[in-house]
Amino acid sequence: MSASDGPGGNLGREYVRIYEVGPRDGLQNEARPVPTVEKRRFIELLVAAGLREIEATSFVALRAVPQLADADALLPLLPRRRGVRYPVLVPNLRGLERAASAGADAIAVFTAATDAFAEHNIGMRVDASLETFATVLERAGGLGWWRRGYVSTAFGCPYTGRVEPERAVRVAERLLDLGVDEVCFGDTVGVAVPSHVRALLARATAAGIPMERVALHFHDTRGTAVANVVAGLDAGVRCFDASTGGTGGCPYAPGAAGNLATEDLVYLLDGLGFGHGVDLPRLLDAARFIAAVLGRPLSSKVGQAGGWDPQTGQPVGRGSEG
Ligand code: MG
C-alpha cells in the first residue's frame, strides 16, 4: 500500500500515533517563558483534543533550559487518564530521580547522529552520551517505564552538513541495544526531503530495525515536513512527532518554522484515511490557546486556513462554529 493512495481498499483503517512535542520541544524553543498554570491548561486542551502521548517537559539542569525549569512542579499537575502518557526528557540519573519524584513513568533520552551536534547540545560526544544513558535506561527499565531514544541531526547537522543514513542508523541500533522501546529520528535543522527519508528507513530496515519501533520528528523549516511524513508512512512508520500550534522555532534559522504543526499532520492523516484519535476543531482550540499565550499568530497552514469539510466544502475549526 502507498500512503499517498490512502489506506482504502480492504486494508481497513490503519492507526497512526501522534506524539505531541509542543509542551517540551515547542515551548523550549520559544523566547517567551510560559507560566506553569498556562502549560497545564495547554496540556489539558491537548488531552481533550484526543492526544494520548504528550512529551510534557524536561528534567535537564534548571539553568540549561529556563523555559522548562518548572518541570518538578508541572508534572504532578497534569490530568492522569488511562491511556495517556507524558514522557519527559531525562539527561542523566539525577534527572531520572527528579522525574521519578514528580511521578513520571515514561522518559526520552536525547543524543545525535553527529558528535559536533551532541557536544554543542548536550555537552558530550555521542559515545559518552550513550554511556550515560545506559544506566538511565537500565534504571527506567527496572521501574517498568516506557523509554524513547532520540537521534537528532539524523539528516543534517548545522556544524558538519549532510548526515548519511548509516551514521544515524548506527546510533539508533545502539539505543535499541540499550533497551529503548522506540527510536526517533529527528530532522533538527529541517533539511530532509522524501528521498533522504526513504534512504534512512531502508537502511534501518536492512539493519533489522522494525518500523513499529521507529518514530520520525520533522521540522517544517523548508516546507518539506508533510512530504517527509508521507515518505515515512509509505515505508511503514506509524508514529510521528508534531507540535500543536507549530510552536518551537528553528534555533539554527532565526525566524523560520520549526516543528511540524500537529494540526497540519492531523489534516494530512484525515485526508489519507488514517485513524489517529485527534479531533481537529478541538486541537485548533489548543493551538489558538498557546498562540495567544505566546502572543503571536498561528504559524501552521491549517491554523490559518482551518480544516476542510469534504461534504460541505467549508472550512472547519475556525473557532466560530464551536
Ligand atoms: Mg523539534
**Total-model pTM:** 0.94
The confidence band for 319, taking pLDDT boundaries of 50, 70 and 90, is: low
Name the strand (E) or helix (H) holding 138: helix 126-142
Q: Which residue has the higher pLDDT, 146 or 248?
A: 146
Q: Is-contact 104 78, C-beta < 8 A? A: no
State in Å: Cα 312 to ligand 1 middle: 35
The confidence band for 1, taking pLDDT boundaries of 50, 70 and 90, is: very low
| Cell numbers for 92 | 542523566
Half-sphere exposure of 34 (CA within 13 A, CB side): 29
Q: Which residues pair with 147 in a beta bridge?
A: 107
State in Å: Cα 243 to ligand 1 middle: 8
In this structure, which residues have their CB less than 5 angstroms from ion ligand 1?
A: 25, 259
Q: Which CATH architecture has domain 11-321?
A: Alpha-Beta Barrel (3.20)
Q: Is-contact 220 257, C-beta < 8 A? A: yes
Q: How many CB atoms lie within 10 A of CB 5?
A: 11
Active site residue 250: yes
* For the chain, domain boundaries: 11-321
Rg, Å, the chain Cα set: 18
State in Å: Cα 19 to ligand 1 middle: 11
Q: Which of 157, 184, 239, 250 is catalytic?
A: 250
125-170 pLDDT, tens digit each: 999 999 999 999 999 999 999 999 999 999 999 999 999 999 999 9
| Cell numbers for 105 | 513513568
State in Å: Cα 87 to ligand 1 middle: 15
3-31 pLDDT, tens digit each: 544 433 334 589 999 999 999 999 998 88
